[in-house]
A = this chain, B = another copy of it.
Amino acid sequence: MNIGEVALMSEVNSKMIRRYEEQGIIPKAGRTDAGYRQYSEKDVHILRFVKRARELGFSMKDIKQLVSLWRNKSRPSAQVKNIALKHQNELERKLNEIQSMLKTINNLVKNCHGDERPDCPILNELDCHK
């Protein structure tokens, strides 16, 4: 398979496939005489794995480790869990951050007339109460 076909099958576009190869996240593809990358079903499988991990918000650094643990049939699951736990913490941190931003924004939006008059609680809030 050429890169375009594997891109369709894995739903990871060719640009990203090349980048992942460069970053050592997926194995280097073989080449035809003309230099075209060649892929098999196995590569589609790896790329789907990467894609799913991205959808769960893992960083590429994490994914690199996850792929290598996944391919190592004798990995200790503790290593995988560790990565997942760190990610869980990070997601919780972001969740709290966004929730607290939203709390403020909701309040501001609620109290702003949103008409042609200049009075605006949003600007008042931003205007250095801190």
Chain A positions within 8 Å of B, measured between CB atoms, are 45, 48-49, 51-53, 55-57, 66, 69-70, 73-78, 80-82, 84-85, 87-88, 91-92, 94-95, 97-99, 101-102, 104-106, 108-109, 112-120, 122-123, 125-130
- Once A98-B98, A102-B88 are accepted as A-B contacts, the answer to whether A122 and B49 lie under 8 Å apart by CB is no
Q: How would you classify the secondary structure of chain A's contact residues: helix, strand, loop or mixed? A: helix
Partner of A105, one of B52, B87, B125: B87
B112-A101 in contact (CB<8A): no
B84-A112 in contact (CB<8A): yes
Q: Which residues on B sit within 8 Å (CB–CB) of A120?
A: 69, 75, 77, 80-81
A106 to B109, CA, bound (A): 33
B123-A80 in contact (CB<8A): yes
Chain B residue at minimal CB-CB distance from A50: B126
B88-A94 in contact (CB<8A): no
